[in-house]
Every structure is written in structure tokens, then in C-alpha cells.
Amino acid sequence: MTARQMVPDGPRPTAFGPARLGIYGFLVVSAVFFLMPLYVMIVTSLKPMEEIRHGALFAWPANPTLAPWIEAWSSACTGLKCEGLKVGFANSVFITVPSAVLAITIGMVNGYALSLWRLRWSSLLFGALLMGAFIPYQVLFFPLVRMLAAIGFFGNLAGIVTVQVIFSLPVMTLLFRNYYASLPYDLFKAARVDGAGFWRTWRSVMLPLSGPMIVVALILKVTNTWNDYVLGLVFAGHRYLPMTVELNNIVNTTHGEREYNMEMAATLLTALVPLAIYFVSGRWFVRGIAAGAVKG
């Protein structure tokens, strides 16, 4: 077959037909709609309060300043203390890192066991785990508070990390179970023939193949934990309040002048980590989702 014969029949699409023009127009309008609030937040955070009082919401600042960002980070009042968001940032890191590592690791082992080892009652156990993803976690607050208080985990770092891991396990298990089920089963059988046991097969065969799904799980877990407000407010205690809780304290402060520039800067500082993760690893997120969607 020649190259001419491989060209499909029919007229070639025009450069800008009505359909394509409509698609581009819809995408442009959607992008403007979603990016406009971000633009307003950025320009407001760079304006001194004198410019904000003039009411020019969309105008670029005539005299840009980073003073609101510095105040939001180092000296904004988040309660009785005026130490800025740097304390909440450190707390969010201390909460997010161990909870992400533990949740992903346990989810990997659960998904591996439920997809390849054909354990007795594995389907029932998986159903019970999956059901946990649909239970509103607010209804579990009171028993969790009592249980964590009984073992000394309430109101400290260990307690909030434990809660974050528990509520993440159903989703993490589902992700890795579907991903391992999409891998060739012959790899698992070959490892078993070579005498590899449960942990050796997982460590030497499955773990090196889990890169795409680890990226997906990491993005989901880090962003969900970083953006969480309710669990941090209830279980973290006063010493380990995450960044979102301190941001709420800044925005809802009612004494004195409302510093809108500082509040916008604090909001952007809180959102920087999830935004950076999506910008840096967004394409790997799509690849990992596609890799685990072959079969369930």
C-alpha cells in the first residue's frame, strides 16, 4: 500500500471551521472563568491597602509590594500568637509526609494481597474496605475521639497521622488492587515458581512495577491531606494545627482593619504546595490513572 493510498478519503478539515472555532471559544471562556479568581487573588495580594480601597478589583497594582506576603508568612495573627503561617506550614509537613508514606505503603500491600494472592474471604474484606470509602467520616468523629483519647493519641501528631492513614486506606487499596490486577499474572506465577514468598514477590517484582500508581497515590494523598481542614481541626490539637486551620483563623479575625492583601497572600501560600505538585507531576498522574484502568 502506497503512502497516497493510506490517506483517508474525504475533505481535509479546514484550519478554523465553525466546530473548531466553537471548541476553542468554549475552552478560552472556561479558562478565563477558572483563572479569574486566581488573578484577582494575586493582584490583590500585591497591592497596598490604599489601592485596594479605591475599588479597582481587576487593576494591576500601581506600586506592587511583597509586604503582605511577608506578613502572612511571619507575623500574621493565627490566634493568640502572631507568628504567621510558617508554624502551620511546618505542622502540615509533619502531618502530610508520614501519613502519605504509611497510607501508600499499607495500600500497596493490601492491593497486592487482594489482587494476586486469592486469600480466603478476600472479596468480602475488599468489600468492607471499599464500603469505608462511602461512609461520611463526620459520623465517626465521636467514637474516634474516645478511642484515640483512651490510647493517648488524641490532640497530638500521632493521632492526626493515624486518622489520616485510616481514612485514606480504602482509596489507596482500591487504586493498587486495580493496578496490580492489570499486570500480567504470569509475572506473579514465575516468581512463585522461583520460590519467592509473599514479601519477596512484592519487593522484587511488584514494587519496581508500581511507579505509575505510586505517583497517582502520592498526588491524591498529599493534596487531600494538605487541603484538609476538619480532621486537622478536630484531631491535631493546638500544637499541631495545619496550615488550613491557621488560614481560617487569619481570615475570620474580626478585630482591627481587614487586611485583604495579607489574607489573599495567606490563601495563596496555603495553596502553593498542591499547585506545585499538579504542575510538576500532572502528566504522570494521567499516565498512572490510565495504567490502572485497563481492568478492575
224 half-sphere exposure, CB direction, 13 A CA radius: 19
Of 105-114, 126-135, 204-213, the poorest mean pLDDT is in 126-135
Q: What per-residue confidence (pLDDT) applies to 245?
A: 93
1.10.274.30, 1.10.3210.50, 3.40.605.10, 1.10.3720.10: which CATH number matches 86-291? 1.10.3720.10
Q: Which tens digits make up the pLDDT trace of 6-37?
A: 555 555 655 667 888 889 999 999 999 999 99
User: Which of 166, 171, 163, 147 minimizes the C-alpha distance to 232?
Assistant: 163
Q: Which tens digits make up the pLDDT trace of 260-285?
A: 999 999 999 999 998 888 888 767 66
Q: Which amino acid does the sequence have at 13?
A: P
Across 140-163, average pLDDT: 91
How many angstroms separate the CA atoms of 193 and 223, rounded? Answer: 40
How many angstroms separate the CA atoms of 273 and 226, rounded? Answer: 8
Is pLDDT larger for residue 132 or for residue 237? 237
Q: What per-residue confidence (pLDDT) applies to 16?
A: 66
Question: What is the signed CA dihedral for 177, 178, 180, 186, rounded to 10 degrees?
Answer: 120
Q: Report percent pLDDT > 70 for the chain.
A: 89
Q: What per-residue confidence (pLDDT) applies to 292?
A: 54
Going from N- to C-terminal start, the domains of the chain cover 3-65, 86-291
The pLDDT of residue 118 is above 90: no
Q: Which tens digits make up the pLDDT trace of 175-195?
A: 898 888 888 888 888 888 888
Across 94-106, average pLDDT: 95
SS3 annotation, 50-119: HHHHCCCCCCCCCCCCCHHHHHHHHCCCCCCCCCCCHHHHHHHHHHHHHHHHHHHHHHHHHHHHHHHCCC
Q: Which amino acid does the sequence have at 135?
A: I
How many angstroms separate the CA atoms of 12 and 4, rounded? Answer: 14
Across 200-208, average pLDDT: 88
CA 202 vs CA 114, 169, 197, 227, 296: distances in Å: 12, 18, 8, 32, 19
How many angstroms separate the CA atoms of 285 and 216, rounded? Answer: 5
User: Which of 42, 73, 79 minimizes the C-alpha distance to 58?
Assistant: 42
The pLDDT of residue 1 is above 60: no
pTM: 0.83
How many angstroms separate the CA atoms of 264 and 91, rounded? Answer: 21
Contact 259, 49 (CB under 8 A): yes
The pLDDT of residue 107 is above 90: yes
Q: What per-residue confidence (pLDDT) applies to 241?
A: 92
